[in-house]
Amino acid sequence: MENGVVENGVCSSEAVDGSRDVWSCKTSDSASADHLVIMANGILGSVTDWKFAAEKFVETLPDKVFVHCSERNVSRLTLDGVDVMGERLAEEVLEVIQRKPNLNKISFVAHSVGGLVARYAIGKLYRPPKSENVEDSSISECSTESTGTIGGLEAMNFITVATPHLGSRGNKQVPFLFGIPVFERAASFVIHLIFRRTGRHLFLNDDDGGKPPLLKRMIEDQEDCYFMSALRAFKRRVAYSNVGSDHIVGWRTSSIRRDSELPKWEDVVNEKYPHIVYEERCKGFDAEQSETSSMEDDGSDKIEEELVTGLSRLSWEKVDVSFHSSSQRFAAHSIIQVEENQSSLIQNPIIFYLSHLHFPTRSVFRDLHVLLSSIKGFNSNRFLPRIALQHSFHARRQLIFPPNSTGLRGTLAFLKSSMELKICCAGGFSKSSPSYPLSPPPIRSKPQASSLSTSPNSPLPFFKARSFVSVNSGCRKNKPIRSQSSDFQTANNGFVLEDVPHLTNFLTDLPSYPNPLQRFQAYGIVEQAFVSSKDVVAEKIVVQKDSPRGVHFRRAGPREKVYFKSEEVRACIVTCGGLCPGINTVIREVVCGLNYMYDVEDILGIEGGYKGFYSKNTLRLTPKVVNDIHKRGGTFLRTSRGGHDTHKIVDNIQDRGINQVYIIGGDGTQRGAALIYEEVKKRGLQVAVAGIPKTIDNDIAVIDKSFGFDTAVEEAQRAINAAHVEVESVENGVGIVKLMGRYSGFIAMYATLASRDVDCCLIPESPFFLEGKGGLFEFMERRLKENGHMVIVLAEGAGQEYVAKDMQHVTEKDASGNRLLLDAGFWLSEKIKNHFTKVQKMAINLKYIDPTYMIRAIPGNASDNIYCTLLAHSAVHGAMAGYSGFTVGPVNGKHAYIPISRVTEVQKTVNMTDRMWARLLASTNQPSFLDCKAL
């Protein structure tokens, strides 16, 4: 690849040190390319290892990426040690960033030892958040302000291929030594003679001033290297590995698994995808899930176990590749980077899978031929290249493969989905992205995630791959690999557990104690007082006969063992965000639950929201103090929006000796709770963080409903009844009632269904128009002619686009980051008056009622008070049992512990194609304002 223009409009330039930049020759494309992709070679490798991938990547995404192929560590320079190479790579990346000021994002793609070098480099490049002043609902998992950056850029994808993450410390981790102990021990003594300092790092026998081996140090943040924080900052981490025929790097070390976690190879491979034999998405582990693995069973030593455990704290996507059927299988370690073309794949539905909108594609490591076929206007038959790649082990030896040779890394497909489709870590997607007919389900499990019991006879479908496998076994040993299927369906018993963190994840020696409830009289008569570790709650209970079991959550409730002594507990409660009926009930029941059930006496109330941690005095809470607060509206502890500063909050928690934190608030508040948990974990504090979701709008995802919702619907009836009485008493009376519902119209919809006096309900999810055939004005004219009056219920977020356009309003936000809404009720009232008086020449009597703040300020009704009690008790049981970083809520009527990320990744909205909305349309007989095609 010479300097200047190459085929298909791809430009490149070579620096003095031999590194190469690749970008689009089109000025407009290169100016908009803001995503830096760093490609790093392995031992004895060079820039040519990524020559083809860099060119094709830019050709595929010319306006998205700027590719830099590193040459700072080549040939014999790769023998200088992982740390030295990492320092050089970090300097090289900073130089590129300085040269390209328009860059905003960064990804790494590394082969073999280059993956370890990249891990070291990002540890040096990591920049902690400048400010963690996270506001109530503006906190986002995609925010670089809350996760830190890599060299000042947003970290997107970290991809390694055949990288020895666990080193090469015997245990058959170097296949060409045949697993013979004598050879492995001998190799550790002579490896430095061949690969010098890098060899010592790989065999974990380096001793820098008495420090632990470098790879072991890299599973923790060090003084000047934030190794784990940097890895955590990336939206996705992917590890490709060869299941066999890789004689340089063992399968176990490159896939970050124990022996018992390696699926058993089956000699059955799908003809369409002959090399990808298994895919797995793993969440960060917790203690209960890791207990089923033992070092003795795995055949691993102590250091290797520490490396597996340390790296498994983060989520990884693992792709297993087999070259058993390839003529180049003996060079599997290198041909994992080579491109393969198979024209038979072009029409496969995987095209849609790659471009699906709901989440970043799991189908990494795809044939480039398939990927390019999915790009509009690309002629896949035009491109059948020859590839010259340098073998990364045999120095300077090039392997030339014909067009039908084996497998270019599907890195292009992986990054294409996360950059071209603008997919965020929380699962959001660009509204402008097209839709596709296929909708494969997202993977949310980790390998050990559904290991609910160590019993060898319990069915434990332990991970979700392209084909589900359920085996009656307590561990993952000898699980078969399944080749990928083309229909995206799972086996009938597919099971996924979305688990929550536990304190023993990072405090491994934390002792447990018998639950004090065993002595509590109220629970003495309960037949099954404690929840079993096997109990889970299904996210979906309406399924087809042959459908997978699907996603489950850990059931809430008391456990037999707790991880806090009652006399050592110091708990605190904080309320954040807006008001909602039932807040005081939750506060009361958390206090009473801790005191009555667990004999906890030291409970603090944090006044004034998040900022109360560091700017307000606390209030001592006892059952006597909170005895009657459930009869009042608002919050006994007062509240505020914004004010979240993670470091200050955790500093205060640590200084006051608090070890249980109960956080009551909406989705933004829960994001803040997640950040507090992460900081607590980082500091190694025994602090349980429990979230109790609060939103009057009922827009919290996953859970059945939020507390205060029933009260809001009931109180809304008073306003609707008042409006109906008013308009029924006059000629051509029109009543407009504005209810809560910033983004979700649940209150308006349910209040309308409960009332039966409403003629039309307008919510944010259902666009409407005023004039013309089928519009609101036409419907109003007809209804007034028929009945002589009508009532309209309007959610506050409905029609905001029309109001802003008419008023030429600039969007503003409150302290929580919520968009400040304009008064849609007042706007609609004026529009209706103008239409009927000026256009129709018809006198109307219009009444506008806004009861929103009256509804927010009342105490919870009977239904909500019971619900708040269950939420509070579930949170207390979870915290005492050692769970942390979770939120509670009912899922299909059963309370569960839910990862905070699940309730904050999206807002729940009214489904316009659901029967409930159809019931409303049938009740009011109003037009839907949308045809079926629009839906």
By annotation, the residues acting in catalysis are 697
Residues listed for the chain: 935
Binding annotation for substrate: 695-697, 740-742, 796, 853-856
Q: Which helix (H) or strand (E) holds 158?
A: strand 154-161
Q: Closest Cα to residue 371, out of 354, 384, 348, 359?
A: 354
- Closest alpha carbon to 421 in 183, 64, 179, 26: 64
Asked if 46 and 52 touch (Cβ cutoff 8 Å), the reply is no
Rounded to an integer, what distance in angstroms lies between the CA atom of residue 267 and that of residue 734? 73
Q: Rounded to whole angstroms, how far apart are CA atoms 357 and 371?
A: 15
In which region does residue 884 sit, left (phi positive, over 0), alpha (psi from -120 to 50) or beta (all else)? Answer: beta
DSSP 8-state secondary structure symbol assigned to residue 759: S
The one-letter amino acid code at 164 reads P
Q: How far apart are CA 898 and CA 887, in angstroms?
A: 5
Q: Which residues are annotated as a binding site?
A: 578, 641-642, 666-669, 695-697, 740-742, 796, 853-856
Per residue, the 3-state secondary structure of 575-590, as one string, reads ECCCCCCCHHHHHHHH
Residue 244 burial (C-beta neighbours within 10 Å; 0-12, 13-18, 19+): middle
Q: What's the rounded Cα separation, in Å, for the pair 598 and 608?
A: 27
Contact 820, 814 (CB under 8 A): yes
| Residues facing residue 788 across a β-bridge | none
166, 268, 635 from 333: Cα distances, Å = 16, 22, 62
Binding-site residue numbers for Mg(2+) are 667
**Alpha-carbon distance 31 to 1, whole Å?**
22
- As a three-state string, the secondary structure of 85-101 is HHHHHHHHHHHHHHHCC
Residue with tokens 């040459």: 71
Dihedral (CA of 765, 770, 772, 776) sign: positive
Helices assigned H by DSSP within 64-180: 82-99, 113-125, 144-147
Cα dihedral 770→773→777→780 (10° resolution): -140
Query: Of 610, 639, 563, 601, which is closest to residue 287 (Cα–Cα)?
Result: 563
Tokens 């891990």 correspond to 119
Residue 178: both structure tokens together: 């045949």
Pairing state of beta strands 236-242 and 154-161? parallel
Q: Quick check: 343 and 380 in contact, CB under 8 A?
A: yes
What token pair was written down for 739? Answer: 């209810």
Rg (CA), the chain: 30
C-alpha 538, offset from chain centre: 19
Residues 547, 579 contacting (CB under 8 angstroms):
no
Strands 688-693 and 660-665: parallel
